[in-house]
Chain A
Amino acid sequence: MTTAPRPALTEAAAAGRGKDPRPAGTGRLGRAPRPRRRGYESLSGYLFVAPAVVLFLVMGLYTVGYGFLLSFATWNGFSPSWTWVGLQNYKDLLWANPMYAPQVQKAAIHTFYVMVAVPLLTVLVSFPLAILLNSAKRFQGVLRSIYFVPYVTSGIAVFFAWTYILQPDGAVNSLLSTLGLGSLSQPQGWLGNPHTALPTMIVVTVWGAVPVSMLLYLTGLQTVDRNLLEAAQLDGAGWWRTNASVVWPLLRPITAIVVLLNLRDSLQGFQTFLVMTNGGPGDHTNVLGLEAYTLAFLKDLAPTLGLASALGWLLFAAALVIALINLRMLRSRT
């Protein structure tokens, strides 16, 4: 090795740098493919990509464009033509039509509560749970499987089971009575009381959301540098302080993802509400996703598909804004 300055490259050498030093036609890499073979390769490449492109064009672009156009029309799904109404569907949903606007506003308030409570509670439950599971010395695999059960069993049947558990003579009230907490039980059932129905639905939603969030946190915990934790402990930080001041800030990107995923689900998801309450009692658990579904499919073929589509686009706009805010926050903190 020498410290002497290298001689400058000659112009010719500089121009040839990085090029194959072998003369053309010698060696496999330097051989130019024959045009016909290159054509076959291109064609086969396009053909392999074609299914995905076609599927995207038909299932993605076409339906998205179709739905967007539909939001400016009234249609019942079957009549031969659409009636163009411009922005009227959006106006009707937001303020203009007394048949729809009050319902949408009420559903928006419920959705807002769900959007605030579900991500918050999911983080509050899944982060400590992940910490505890990560530090478990024995049966870690079994415990992880147990806590993941709600995710793998989530489905229509489980939500039907929840409705039975929450009935006036269901397991929750029975358990409370057995524990001597009968005064906390709900005589009309947890989904029958307008004051407990939405909070109960939030709890059930969180129950379904915790496993994936916990898994994300567990994944994040594997990446935390043990030296940092040891350094914190050497500085006298206890278990609580280490997790609150070292681990929690390090896992902030995971928290952002957990919050974003749950915000999206809270904004657009409605299956649980459809199965368990259908928006009831009365309309005390009606949410925007369910309102859009009802407008689209449960109005006995009234021409409200355009309204449903417009509501879908309003939800998309809200989701986009939330995603941008989340992205911005993520960038500023990391």
Chain B
Amino acid sequence: MRIPFARISPKNPKSRLAAAAVATVLSLTPLAACGGSSGSSGDSKTLNMWTFKQSHVAGLRNAAAAFKKQTGITVNIQAYGPDDAYSTKVQAAAKTNDLPDVLEVHSDGDDLVWGATGIAKDISADVDSAWNGLYQKAVQTSGTVTAEKYKESLPTDSKSHGVQQGQRFSVPFTAGTFGIVMGNKTMLAAAGITKPPTTWEEFLTDLKATTAKDPKNGGLSLGLKVKATGLTWVLQPLAFAELGKEKYQALFGQDAAADFSSADGQKVLSLYDEMQPYWMPGTQSLDIDGADQAFAQGKAAWDIGGTFTLSYLQQNDMNPDNVMAFGLPAPQNAAVPKPALGPIALTSLTVTSTSSHPDNAEKWMKFLSQPSVAATFAKDATEVPATELGADTAAVMGPTLADMTKTFEGGTAETTYDPSDNSFRAATYDQDSMGVVLADLTPLKQKSVASTAADLAKLNKSFWATSK
């Protein structure tokens, strides 16, 4: 039996060959496409920028319009979220040589890690003192491989292994902090609360009042589906205030007499466990945006987030003036009764190493750091800019955001909680794993304080044991 295709053109085998060749080329096209072209703009008058913050897009586009007027360079802004999806997208784009020119990144985290992998370009030679001087003093070294960061990078299993001291992979863009409590003023007033609590105990009393007033919607919302939020936004600042800097850091150290299994560790876990009756129903299944959205929709009277939360609340039709904001208060008789929350760089801007026009990319980053541009962006996005705005700060940011920034004030090195300081933890420390253990204490009620303390200490020990 003859195969059918042989009859198609029996007198012209060359046409068969041509057909086969075309089939081969067409079949291999997808493979060729895998090579991809660079996502970086090809021409000198266009830049591409990615961000993971949807709430930044409008402000960035407004800034991009002003930048085009000034320089003739068009900046295309694209948002990809949530954070995990953004991180995966950047990694995939780096593999396929499809990165944009500029990335917005988590400060002093992604930037250094991506610098170590070659995704982010070292811009230390280009960020001079005049440019760096535009930023708030507290965030001026953000994105730089300081001596401390270099030391953290030395173990081979460190995520930033390979960076060199003095390199710089980003400049700060927004600043702020975590551990800011927000209350719905209307719901709080209905429960008789008109001013922020000054102690942890007062805060719990207020929580009790709102949940008594409205058992269904009077609770506290926190995006615990993101595993580390309970740990980093509540337990850590609470432990810092209760124990003081040294003992707080010792919780994550190698000394069994001072880690989570110690009396100090159990004490702070007991304090954290006191929140159990006041969680909003289902808060453990919500991600950060979902929890903020629930608060904006009146499904919770309280929300814990950061200075960056207000923009999302506003985006979800909540009036910022209806938000009472304050830093997580310290327990009575705490070692640090009035802790300050250290302003840190929250997001930064980095130039990708594959950018065709790194000079233009840096020009755009420098433009965003100008006080007038930063002030406009701050208004558009309801964010605290990393740029120093001087006396205009309160006027630019509005009263609620200005209230949040008050948590930055009055601290010393010993009384200011700095969430970006990881120098006292093991190189392989994984906050998500710690967060999973903590969730079993509250809100899941699967473990006692003692067994949670033991499990946290055991896990912490394993980080030290595996740090090379």
Contact = CB atoms under 8 A, between A and B. Distances in A.
A41 B6 contact: yes
A191 B20 contact: no
B84 interface: yes
Nearest to B22: A47
Interface string B428-455: 1010010011011001101000000000
Nearest to B106: A300
A327 interface: no
A134 B224 CA distance: 47
A283 interface: yes
A47 B444 CA distance: 61
A245 interface: no
B362 to A, nearest CB: 23
Contact of B16 (A44, A83, A189, A284): A44
Contacts of A240: none
B444 A194 contact: yes
Nearest to A276: B285
Most-contacted residue by chain A among B19, B114, B436 (CB, 10 A): B436
A300 B113 contact: yes
B462 A98 contact: yes
Most-contacted residue by chain B among A97, A168, A191 (CB, 10 A): A168
A188 B28 CA distance: 51
Interface in A35-74: 37, 40-41, 43-44, 47-48, 50-52, 54-55, 58, 74
A58 B117 CA distance: 25
A182 interface: no
Contacts of A302: 157, 159, 428
Most-contacted residue by chain A among B31, B161, B444 (CB, 10 A): B444
Interface in B57-78: none
Contacts of A298: 84, 87-88
B281 A188 contact: yes
A77 B439 contact: no
Nearest to A54: B28
* Chain B contact residues, majority secondary structure: helix
A78 B444 contact: no
A53 B299 CA distance: 57
Interface string B25-45: 011100100000000000000
Most-contacted residue by chain A among B87, B227, B282 (CB, 10 A): B282
A47 B20 contact: yes
B91 interface: yes
A223 B118 CA distance: 60
Nearest to B162: A79
Interface in A232-287: 277-278, 280-284
Contacts of B26: 51
Contacts of B117: 76-79, 301
Interface string A282-311: 111000000000000111111100000000
Interface in B1-36: 6, 13-14, 16-17, 19-21, 23-24, 26-28, 31
B17 A194 contact: no
A95 B87 CA distance: 30
B284 A280 contact: yes
A17 B240 CA distance: 97
Nearest to A83: B156
A78 B433 CA distance: 24
B462 A297 contact: no
A99 interface: yes
Contact of B159 (A37, A58, A284, A300): A300
Nearest to A274: B84
Interface string B100-129: 000000000110011011110000000000
A167 B287 CA distance: 13
A10 to B, nearest CB: 31
Nearest to B435: A282
A298 B285 CA distance: 19
Contacts of A277: 225, 285
A86 interface: no
Nearest to A286: B436
Nearest to B25: A51
19 contacts: A41-B16, A43-B17, A44-B17, A50-B20, A51-B23, A54-B31, A79-B116, A79-B161, A97-B462, A98-B459, A98-B465, A99-B433, A189-B281, A192-B285, A194-B444, A281-B444, A297-B88, A302-B428, A303-B157
Q: Which 10 A-B pairs have CB atoms at the shortest separation, nearest pair first?
A: A51-B27, A47-B20, A78-B117, A40-B13, A98-B462, A189-B282, A282-B439, A168-B281, A281-B284, A168-B282
Interface of A: 37, 40-41, 43-44, 47-48, 50-52, 54-55, 58, 74, 76-79, 83, 97-99, 103, 163, 167-169, 187-189, 191-192, 194, 277-278, 280-284, 297-303
